[in-house]
Chains A and B, each alone.
Chain A
Amino acid sequence: GAGVSQSPSNKVTEKGKDVELRCDPISGHTALYWYRQSLGQGLEFLIYFQGNSAPDKSGLPSDRFSAERTGGSVSTLTIQRTQQEDSAVYLCASIGGGSGGVGELFFGEGSRLTVL
């Protein structure tokens, strides 16, 4: 597609429920990232996928968070047993493979998660 696409754009859930957030990166981009942006805060790195390599999960805040990337394209971020502190905007971004993973992050519009 023309840009990074994320869904849903807004998600309201109850504490303790599981949620799935989806990201469809720019076609041909091999590097995919998930970031979290809490209200009035900067962006916090969560996880990184590069091609078929094992993902870098070093930014995931707890074992309730997981992500996968199927077929080197679409990625899903899953948050289990959601807590109120998980409320944030979850941003997905990709970088073109030709750049070797260095360069402009193309962000999606984000998924705003509210945990009641």
Chain B
Amino acid sequence: GENVEQHPSTLSVQEGDSAVIKCTYSDSASNYFPWYKQELGKRPQLIIDIRSNVGEKKDQRIAVTLNKTAKHFSLHITETQPEDSAVYFCAAPRSPYNQGGKLIFGQGTELSVKP
């Protein structure tokens, strides 16, 4: 089955700086990689996802890159703001042949943006 590793576990940046979170996966057939943001005491919410037919996807200050050869994908947040402070989870399908909602999540990265 799939295995997902996420680094770093904690990340502290100054407001306005960029933040990068990296994840690796084990199954080369995996084809869908979402990122979820979970604010303290709140539910996880999808912020961006990427499918294996593209190498990069952007949405305003957030971007995700995918390297299928190396089997890793990264979340990039530019011009960070205090409201970006949260725990971020990467994920991949438990099996590439199963539904996309059955996911293996990384352990999470707690991002702190200092004003």
A interface list, Cβ under 8 A from B: 31, 33, 40-45, 48, 50, 56, 58-59, 91, 93, 95, 100-105, 107-110
In the complex, how many residues of chain B place their beta carbon closer than 8 angstroms to a beta carbon of chain A?
Answer: 24
Q: List B contacts of A44 (CB < 8 A).
A: 105
- The reply to whether A43 and B105 form a contact with Cβ atoms under 8 Å apart is yes
Roughly how many angstroms separate A110 CA and B91 CA in the complex, as a whole number? 19
- The reply to whether B100 and A102 form a contact with Cβ atoms under 8 Å apart is yes
- The reply to whether B105 and A33 form a contact with Cβ atoms under 8 Å apart is no
Q: Using a CB-CB cutoff of 8 Å, which residues 37-69 of chain B contact chain A?
A: 42-46, 49
Given A41-B108, A45-B94, residue A103 in contact with residue B100 (CB < 8 A): yes
Given A41-B108, A43-B89, A43-B105, residue A50 in contact with residue B44 (CB < 8 A): no
B interface list, Cβ under 8 A from A: 6, 32, 34, 36, 42-46, 49, 89, 91, 94, 98-108
Apart from A48-B99, A59-B102, A101-B101, 11 more pairs, CB < 8 Å: A31-B101, A41-B108, A42-B107, A42-B108, A43-B44, A43-B91, A43-B105, A50-B99, A91-B43, A93-B101, A108-B43
Taking a contact as CB atoms closer than 8 A, the residue among B43, B89, B102, B107 that contacts A109 in the complex is B43
Q: List B contacts of A41 (CB < 8 A).
A: 107-108
Roughly how many angstroms separate A95 CA and B105 CA in the complex, as a whole number? 17
Q: List B contacts of A91 (CB < 8 A).
A: 43-44
Given A43-B44, A91-B44, residue A105 in contact with residue B107 (CB < 8 A): no
**11 A–B pairs (Cβ distance < 8 Å), ordered by A:** A31-B101, A40-B108, A41-B108, A44-B105, A48-B102, A93-B101, A103-B100, A103-B101, A104-B49, A105-B103, A110-B43
- The reply to whether A107 and B102 form a contact with Cβ atoms under 8 Å apart is no
Q: List A contacts of B106 (CB < 8 A).
A: 42
Instruction: Sort A-B residue pairs by CB-CB distance and give the 8 closest, nearest first.
Output: A102-B100, A101-B99, A42-B105, A107-B43, A104-B46, A43-B105, A42-B107, A95-B101
Q: List B contacts of A33 (CB < 8 A).
A: 101-102
Q: List B contacts of A56 (CB < 8 A).
A: 98, 102
Roughly how many angstroms separate A58 CA and B46 CA in the complex, as a whole number? 24
Q: List B contacts of A105 (CB < 8 A).
A: 34, 36, 44, 46, 101, 103
